[in-house]
Structure 1
Amino acid sequence: MIDQVTTYAKAIVSKKILASKKVVQACKRHLKDLEKSEQDDFPYYFDVRKSEAVIKFIGSLPNPDDGKPMTLINYQAFIIGSLFGWKKKETGYRRYTMAVVSMARKQGKSIIVAGIALYMLRYEKTPLVARQIYTAANKRDQAKVTFNYAVAFLDSLRKISKYFRQHTRIKRDEIEDVTSHSFIKPLSKDTKGIQGLNALLGILDEQADSNDCSVLEAIQKSQRQQEQPLTIVISTVSTNVNGWFHEKEYRYATQVLNGEIKDDSYFAIWYEQENEEELQDEKTWIKSNPILISKKISKKLLPKLREDWERAQSMETTTSSKIFTFNMWQQASEDSYISVKEWANTLVEDKPNLYGRDVYLGMDLARVGDLSAVSWVVPIEEENKFYVDGHGFVGTRGGIENKIQRDKIEYSMLHKRGEVTFSNLQSGNIDDQQIIDYIYNLINEYHWNVIGICYDRYSANHIIDTFNEDGFTMIDVAQGYATLSEPTKQFRKLVQDKKIMHPDNRMLEIAVNNSVVKSVNDAIILDKTMYRNKIDLLAALLDAFTQAYNHDFSTSYSKDDDYYENQFHF
């Protein structure tokens, strides 16, 4: 029997089809699980007959434009067949309850999700009746996009099928299966009764721009009594690099595919270009545009993609093309300081030994009571690199929940991660003593040799005086092009050259993601008129880097130092 899922997986893994790392990982996962399914202690098996049945149904849906079957392309078959073919040995129910699928625009995503919705409306057996299926989004017009696709497919299907005319009915905002009293409805945040659902299937389309995952949470909470629920999030990426889809879902999908997290009920596949260099080689564009595998479609689509990309480069407006055409996360501004990918490439899981090192400290202190930051740059001499990190201090005037809503930053989550400290003051203003104590604790913990503490003169207060009195070298960093331009350029270059190391600090990542530069002639500095976007940790880091970028690696460390560490212990 034909097995389109396994055939596609083998073609990807054997490199017969060029694919991104995450697609290769998803296909390897399928093949490895197929091998493990032969073992008694592996709880899942792959039902080829079921997989092919669903693929066949969705591939038979008539195109609303010409009435011809919407024959599926191999990657569409892989996604659909994976979701329905993998089952639990104990119950026969579907294995996957959550699926995240991402690819460039115009890849036939609507066929996948609308087809799945129609299949489950008519053919699902668990439950036999009252199956609730929702096409969901934060706003009603977006929620109706997938719903309208399902309507169009069903309308065409009803014209050629007496069976579907008998069993289904299309209403204004509902598709009904009259036999089982089941339905498909659009669902948005403002839908009445959103907390009282009992969803079997929830489909969320184009979620990358959303700052609010309340609809997803409402669907998943409502599925707790379902025996084999399914939630599908399918989206192209966006500029919203601090939103939940990037910060939570993209990270989690990456960890699952990397094998860092074991989640057998979570399906993920991500079609994306992996670096800027690939954009210059159109042979690699299939990584984010899997539909190009079709010669018929490629003949029409590829010239259009090529034309759009060439125009975007000529006009220096490549951000939207990188997002929609190549599914690459981008900051909103063309003047973004450091790209998402560049920063991610310098992340290290294992922190180097920081004990007894030189350190350059930077402070960006709030004038009133909003957010302050302390960052540090530690030269790692044996690697000729800098390790950087930081910590935020959050004012709580008006309540932390109001601040979360205003800044669109999950401070409570960051607080749990140990990346920010909330003010202890009753007024909610920044507590200077907390900052002082944090810096002293940091210095004492690592026995650092503090080369200097750098600060912005316009936010000077008694914190500066305290460290002055204790004999630290305090460096007043003028906030202008003459002082900051070269360090700002050098820091970015070192990030690009992977000479910077940093931990998984979400607060620092938010600052980097939000940072935009302004320029005069060839000089650049961070644009602090965008301060509402909270770049404080990066601003403090660059203050410290005004001194650190001149650090002399050649004289401060020698491998011979290990002699004194190892030779005299008896």
Structure 2
Amino acid sequence: MNWVLERVFSYCDDILNGKINACKKHIWAVKRFIKDFEDCQKDDSPFYFDEEVAEDFYWFAREFKHVEGVLAGEPVELTDYQLFKAVNIFCFKKRHNNARRFRKIYDQVARKNAKSQFLAIVSAYINFLGEEKQRAFIAGWTRDQSSEVYEAVRTGIQSSELLEGKWKEAYGKIEILRNHSVIIPLSKEARKTGDGKNPSVGIVDEYHAHETSEIYDVLVSGMVARKEPLMFIITTAGFDLSRPCFREYEYVSNILDPDSEVENDDYFVMICELDKDDDIKNESNWIKANPIVATYPEGIESIKSELKIALEVPEKMRSFLTKNMDIWVDMKENGYMPMSKWDECGVDEAPDVKEFMLFPGLDLSQTTDLTSIGMVFNLGDGKYHIRQHSFMPEEKFKERMRTDKVRYDLWADQGYLTLTPGSVVDYNYIESYIINLRSEGFYIVEVPYDKWNASHLAQNLENEGFLPVEIPQAIRQLSEPTKSFRTEVFQKNITHEKDPLLRWAINNAVLKIDDQENIMISKSKSKNRIDPIAAVINGFARARVAVPEVNLNDHILSEEFSF
């Protein structure tokens, strides 16, 4: 066993015996490595371990020099944590063709832990030393994201005397002269996604910021013909659990989990995060998410400074948790509420709410889009039950599925959405739905509505004996019900039936805030549709001020009624 490998195994021992404080998933990754290494010694293993590669990678990395800070001009000295990752990625090989075992990498760690530096070394190592022509694509969602790792590659190889004269840069890409390999930055913003480019290496940087998996999917699909492709996701935690990165995070976490049945021999996973019940104020926990930054005084001071700001300015806490502690937080910037709070209010069995006052709020969007009824039942004693039903024109919903990237068809099958004939929503369906609620015995007190596009419908409902009540859509008028609804959710005074369409809308909702700290959910600021929660808030605006009444129809029909 060479000295680099001895360092790695010593690091693994320190993780397992607690000398180095590590999160649960980091420990799982170490145990997986040790088991895989031991399995490789068996004759029937499909893999073998090439320990010479460990030294090769180490010495190649030292060709890079630090270009700024107190270490400027000094060779890069890989940490034990970085060597652990490198040994996993490059030393496990397939017996039948000598190709690398791992085809995919998921690497999640807090910021400032030398992610870009490590990726630059990996990318250069494969491209400069590969025998065949390599095509490495560095993919961010924006130009700035994709250029960060690309700049790190260029800066790194510029600092290497060994690589001097062995590459050139032209037209925004690096070309290696010996084998004509190329390193190219991509981004969705620049409308460059590498489609059909036959990539051998794909690096998706800050995947949590990618709104869709489009770039990732294109790169993976283009690697089919490659003998040993490497698809590398590197990211910190994010704050939008509807994005593809969180789904990938959940999947790869199961790969590591020894109690999970999920197995994937092609996928290497490294996650450094705080564990669920860790105290963010306890400095000894910080190394779990910061395997490099939390090992030297300046790094500790930097985290301490960020925490102080986050504790004093609550809106900064989300960024601290995701970027510094690498914890997934289910709340976008200016998002309406953490979805974990909403989920806690869900019930598995629908309650009988017919005897309680119902306020079906209306939000009539453009006739070609989603239109919603938000049903708020006042249960008395400060408790409320929430439902919604939405409508969408049948001829538009497939187009909306493509643009919104959600399963409207599934929600229609589940009964949360009605697809109306034609290319526009016929408001007669909304009117009929409310009339049917009454005929089924629901106690409708008022019909709160946004007057936009609703004047004719309100008149029809009034002719049918309902009491329509306009809810002004101004921030001063909507601020109190919007704040109050959120407060009732936090205090678990709200129940709901886990409607996925309503949950999606709440997760989409972004707040508009004025100088007096009045708030309202804003369709212009929200990237996706929020009509169901807008309708619920319209209903709640009246339900919250209502005095509980007896449903006279039910009372007359009950055994308690008599003259």
Per the TM superposition, whether the score is higher than 0.5 is: yes
- What corresponds to 1:457 in structure 2? 449
Q: Distance in 2 between matches of 1:487 and 1:21?
A: 39
Q: Distance in 1 between matches of 2:195 and 2:262?
A: 30
Q: Distance in 2 between matches of 1:272 and 1:310?
A: 20
Aligned length: 523
Alignment of 1:114-153 (within 5 A): 114-124=120-130, 128-153=131-156
Alignment of 1:39-438 (within 5 A): 45=47, 47=49, 49=51, 52-53=54-55, 55-57=57-59, 59-65=61-67, 66-88=72-94, 90-124=96-130, 128-157=131-160, 159=161, 161=162, 164-165=163-164, 168-172=166-170, 173-189=172-188, 190=190, 194-237=194-237, 242-246=242-246, 248-254=247-253, 256-257=255-256, 259=260, 261-273=262-274, 278-294=279-295, 298-318=296-316, 319-328=318-327, 329=329, 331-333=331-333, 335-339=334-338, 342=341, 346=344, 352-354=348-350, 362-369=360-367, 370-374=369-373, 392-395=390-393, 401=399, 405=403, 409-411=404-406, 413-416=407-410, 421=417, 423-426=419-422, 428-432=423-427
Question: Residues 399, 121 of structure 1: CA spacing in aligned structure 2 closer, same or farther, 3 A cutoff?
Answer: same
Aligned letter for 1:337? Answer: Y
Question: Residues 59, 549 of structure 1: CA spacing in aligned structure 2 closer, same or farther, 3 A cutoff?
Answer: farther
Question: Residues 317, 277 of structure 1: CA spacing in aligned structure 2 closer, same or farther, 3 A cutoff?
Answer: farther
Q: Distance in 1 between matches of 2:267 and 2:432?
A: 43
Q: Give how far 1:71 is off.
A: 1.8
Secondary structure of 1:223 counterpart: coil
Q: Give how far 1:25 is off.
A: 4.6
Aligned letter for 2:230? Answer: L
- What corresponds to 1:567 in structure 2? none
Kept in 1, the 8 Å contact 2:359–2:448? The answer is no
Q: Distance in 1 between matches of 2:445 and 2:287?
A: 49
Secondary structure of 1:198 counterpart: coil
Q: Give how far 1:117 is off.
A: 0.8
- What corresponds to 2:558 in structure 1? none
- What corresponds to 1:556 in structure 2? none
Q: Looking at secondary structure, tell me which structure has more helix per residue.
A: 1
Kept in 1, the 8 Å contact 2:158–2:164? The answer is no
- Report the more deviating stretch, 111-120 or 492-501: 492-501
Kept in 2, the 8 Å contact 1:102–1:269? The answer is yes
Question: Residues 466, 316 of structure 1: CA spacing in aligned structure 2 closer, same or farther, 3 A cutoff?
Answer: same
Aligned letter for 1:154? Answer: I
Q: Give how far 1:108 is off.
A: 0.1
Secondary structure of 2:344 counterpart: coil
Secondary structure of 1:195 counterpart: coil
- Report the more deviating stretch, 523-532 or 319-328: 523-532
Q: Distance in 2 between matches of 1:497 and 1:75?
A: 43
Q: Distance in 2 between matches of 1:61 and 1:347?
A: 56
Q: Distance in 2 between matches of 1:477 and 1:31?
A: 66
Q: Give how far 1:429 is off.
A: 2.0
Kept in 2, the 8 Å contact 1:339–1:513? The answer is no
* RMSD (Å), alpha carbons: 5.0
Aligned letter for 2:202? Answer: G
Alignment of 1:459-478 (within 5 A): 478=471
Percent identity reads 21
Q: Distance in 1 between matches of 2:456 and 2:286?
A: 56
Query: Unaligned 5+ residue runs, structure 2?
Result: 547-563
Q: Give how far 1:364 is off.
A: 3.9
Aligned letter for 1:285? Answer: W
Question: Residues 437, 265 of structure 1: CA spacing in aligned structure 2 closer, same or farther, 3 A cutoff?
Answer: farther
Q: Give how far 1:338 is off.
A: 1.4
Q: Distance in 2 between matches of 1:486 and 1:288?
A: 39
Q: Give how far 1:531 is off.
A: 6.1
Aligned letter for 2:167? Answer: R
Question: Residues 513, 458 of structure 1: CA spacing in aligned structure 2 closer, same or farther, 3 A cutoff?
Answer: closer
Deviations 1:280-321 (A, max 9, x none): 333333233222342xxx211222232233235445551544
Query: Unaligned 5+ residue runs, structure 1?
Result: 552-570
Q: Distance in 1 between matches of 2:241 and 2:178?
A: 44
Q: Distance in 2 between matches of 1:324 and 1:34?
A: 32
Deviations 1:191-218 (A, max 9, x none): 7793231111011223433335433222
Aligned letter for 1:153? Answer: G
